[in-house]
Amino acid sequence: MKRLNIILLGLILLFSPLAKADEGMWLLPLLQKYNISTMQSMGLELSAEDIYSINSTSMKDAIVIFGGGCTGEIISDKGLLLTNHHCGYGAIQKHSSTEHDYLKNGFWAMSVDEEIPTPGLSVTFLVSLEDVTKQVTKKVKAKMTEKERSEAIQEVAKEIEDKASEGNHYRAMVRNYYGGNKYYLLVYEIFTDVRMVGAPPSSIGKFGADSDNWMWPRHTGDFSLFRVYANKDNNPADYSPDNTPYKPKHHLPVSIKGVEKDDFAMIMGYPGGTTRYMTSWEVDEAEKITNAQRSFIRGIRQEIILEDMLASDEVRIKYSSKYSGSSNYWKFSIGQNQSLKRLKVKDTKRKEQEEFTKWVNKSNKRTKAYGEALGLIKSAIEDRHDYMYANMYLSETLLRGTEIISLASRTNNLYKLLLDDETENLEGQIERLKQSAKGFYKDYNAPTDRKVAKAMFKLYADKVKEEFHPTIFTKINDEFNGDFNRFIDDMFDNSIFVDSTKLWKFLENPTAEELNNDPAFIASTSIIKEAGKIWDELSGINSKFAKGHRLYVGGIMEMNDGQSMYPDANFTMRLTYGKVLDYYPRDAVHYNYYTTLSGVMEKEDSDNWEFVVPDKLKELYQNKDYGQYATEDGELPLNFISNNDITGGNSGSPVINGKGELIGCAFDGNWEAMSGDIIFERELQRCISVDIRYILFIIDKYAGAKHLVDEMTIVK
């Protein structure tokens, strides 16, 4: 019987999405319980307390959320911060102009006085992470509806958050894990005075651009530098010339000893989101709706924008960040669909579901607890199909895809105040709208948006069922004979939102009547109303899905009782560990684990903007002027790969060796494992990182900013 139980447990672990030893985005407080012995056997020389401690300084004190969607790390005792070039791209673009084109030429502050304040940019440090599941769920009753359950949890979570942030400057939040089966309290410290220190030109920081994105071999110097500032008490404060560089609790020492195959490597950061518990029906939805439609729509929009960017430096600077953000997940969607099909992920998920069902059906208690899980998920996916499809198109083509609609929709609150004649709050609302519009117009080109709008409105009409058409489409048919080009030209010719001069004049004496007659406002109101109807329908269906997902994950947790498990990523701090490793992407093809500067020169193409190489870099290469950053055989290392388990949000994360030293900066995944958010492919999945030696070489030899290297703790 004992042997039979072992065999059954082995089958369960085989099909469990959380039971593979080579994967995992692990919670730091659980490292001692689940991971530390394995990590040490692989080459880690630190303890779990060295990595995460709430009683003393530890490695987690050097890792931050950078902005709203990336990771960064503190690399000096003066608050110097390293992240990716693509993470700092918005700030670099924000400070760029045709006179100071930091996107094209790069930027380097040669003293702290030259560091550029970046309003709106913040970095966030994790103070503590605590399991509060028992407290949060104390009011939950078995017979509650999903809505009642959610409300009860939110009420208690709010009490816990308020108590944790009482009498201090911290921000506290309760987050759910394991599909809503566990809850943790996270306490954060947020710094809002962050200044740009250095960035290579895009020809280094984005070398290869869209062609090389998500690909290996790679030759991209994807990094940028910022600095965190604090007040005289070393606490967070809004920008002030009196603020001084932040004195961190911990900063990462920087190793230039290099990396070798099979070296231990761990990554700490903020992975944004994974769906490793996804069922086969959800995979099908991701393939046919999310990925297929997103890549199709964005491909059309990006082609229009890129044409204007290549024709004008002014437009290029305005749209660089927006284009980059769009194209990143355009290509991701294409690659993920290819991987899902090639690796037969739906078949794997079906097998997991079959094993789950067998396990559930062996016990009446399990059947009662988890028996409806998969049925609820399947039913919800079927019920929401048309709404998900329409919502994808509404978001990608009209709400986000057409910029003038996005701006016009920001006046909804102002319109309500004007209708209700609420003069008391009017001035404040006008000022908020002005501030928002200033940022919008800085990076807006109406002629480009006009071209995009014509394509996007027509696309929505052609691809989405009429039952989901906003009422503005009836107006287009009735008044413009269905001619979308005529309608868009009329909207852009007559709307106050096309340029700041018209909008500012309107805001001097705004009226509801003028908004009611504005074609862009009319269109945006119609679109938002339709979106609201779709979202309401999805909300009800998704409540059913949420229950099914919670029960499914809860059942998997019981199946794996006592085994090491990690929850899906949710943009909270995680650790992944593995090795520097090569791979074989397909039959007879081998990819080495590192690239060098020689590969940049092999790819150089002066006629292709994606592969232009700066003259200074070519000169350094020709002279082999690599300083202390070269390998023993005289090469300059550039990128390397490891089998660490990362996803979006990990961009900018530190790659750390067994001694706790920084060896690289993670920035991408590989094309052959684009299904990695859904299922980890241990033989194929690789994390692509910039070798820290190349980063230091660019700072020191290329930029001549050795003073930045000098403030780091360099380990030779």
Domains of the chain: 26-122+192-271+572-669+682-716 (2.40.10.120), 280-550 (no CATH)
Helix axes 446-463, 484-494, angle to 10 degrees: 140
Which pTM value belongs to this model? 0.93
Q: Are 357 and 287 in contact (CB under 8 A)?
A: no
Q: Indicate if 312 belongs to the active site.
A: no
Confidence class of residue 425 from pLDDT cuts 50, 70 and 90?
confident
User: How much is the average pLDDT of 461-470?
Assistant: 97
The confidence band for 14, taking pLDDT boundaries of 50, 70 and 90, is: very low
Contacts of 237 (CB under 8 A, 6+ apart): 192, 193, 229, 230, 231, 243
Predicted local distance difference test score (pLDDT) of residue 9 = 35
Judge contact between 690 and 642, C-beta under 8 A: no
| pLDDT at site 2 | 36
Mean pLDDT, rounded, for 30-35: 94
Beta bridge partners of 195: 117, 227
Q: What is the pLDDT of residues 646-676, one digit of tens each?
A: 999 999 999 999 999 999 999 999 999 999 9
Provide, rounded to the nearest whole percent, the portion of the chain with pLDDT above 70. 97
Identified catalytic residue from 326, 651, 653, 689: 651
Question: Is 651 noted as a catalytic residue in this protein?
Answer: yes
Condensed to tens digits (0 to 9), the pLDDT of residues 191-237 reads 999 999 999 999 999 999 999 999 999 999 999 999 999 999 999 99
Q: Is 72 exposed, middle or buried (0-12, 13-18, 19+ CB in 10 A)?
A: buried
User: Using CA atoms, how far apart are residues 344 and 681, in angstroms rounded to an integer?
Assistant: 12
Sort strands 574-579 and 714-715 into parallel, antiparallel or unpaired.
unpaired
343-390 tens-digit pLDDT: 999 999 999 999 999 999 999 999 999 999 999 999 999 999 999 999
Residue 421 has pLDDT above 90, yes or no: no
Q: Tens of pLDDT along 109-165?
A: 999 999 999 999 999 999 999 999 999 999 999 889 889 999 999 999 999 999 999
CA dist 133 → 137, 143, 158, 179, 628 (Å): 6, 19, 13, 13, 51
Catalytic residue among 222, 308, 518, 677: 222
Containing H/E element for 71?
strand 70-74
- Computed over every residue of the chain, the mean pLDDT equals 94
Rounded CA-CA distance 11/355 in Å is 8
**Do you find a cis peptide bond into 217, omega within 30 degrees of 0?**
yes
Quick one: tokens of 117?
């304040």
How far is Cα 323 from Cα 614, in angstroms, rounded to an integer? 22
Euclidean distance between CA atoms 398 and 394, whole angstroms: 5
Q: Give the separation between CA 568 and CA 571, rounded to whole angstroms.
A: 10
| Residue 15 in this model has a pLDDT that exceeds 80 | no
The torsion angles phi and psi of 186, rounded to 5 degrees, stand at -115, 130
Alpha-carbon distance 264 to 656, whole Å?
8
pLDDT at 22: 60
Torsion of CA 134, 139, 144, 149, to 10 degrees: -70
The DSSP H or E segment spanning 267 is strand 264-269
Distance CA 298, CA 140 (A): 43
Residue 522 vs residues 422, 483, 526: alpha-carbon distances, Å:
22, 17, 6
Banded model confidence at residue 339, pLDDT cuts 50, 70, 90: very high
Predicted pLDDT of residue 403: 97
**Spatial contact of 385 and 392, defined as CB atoms under 8 Å apart:** no
Q: Is the pLDDT of residue 6 over 50?
A: no
Structure-model confidence comparison of residues 54 and 518, the more confident one:
518
CA distances from 17 to 24, 485, 555, 568, 578 (A): 10, 49, 12, 10, 18
| Helix (H) / strand (E) containing 688 | strand 687-691
Per-residue pLDDT band at 8 (split at 50, 70, 90): very low
Which of 19-28, 463-472, 665-674 has the weakest average pLDDT? 19-28
Considering the candidates 16, 61, 76, 86, report the single residue annotated as catalytic. Answer: 86
pLDDT for the residue 348: 97
Spatial CA neighbour of 375 closest among 216, 253, 549: 549
State yes or no: pLDDT of 10 exceeds 70: no
**Residue 180 region by backbone torsions, left for phi larger than 0, else alpha for psi between -120 and 50, else beta:** left
CA angle 29–31–32, rounded 5-degree value: 95
Residue 398 pLDDT class (50, 70, 90 cuts): very high
| Dihedral sign (CA 313, 314, 317, 320) | negative
Q: What is the pLDDT of residue 7?
A: 34
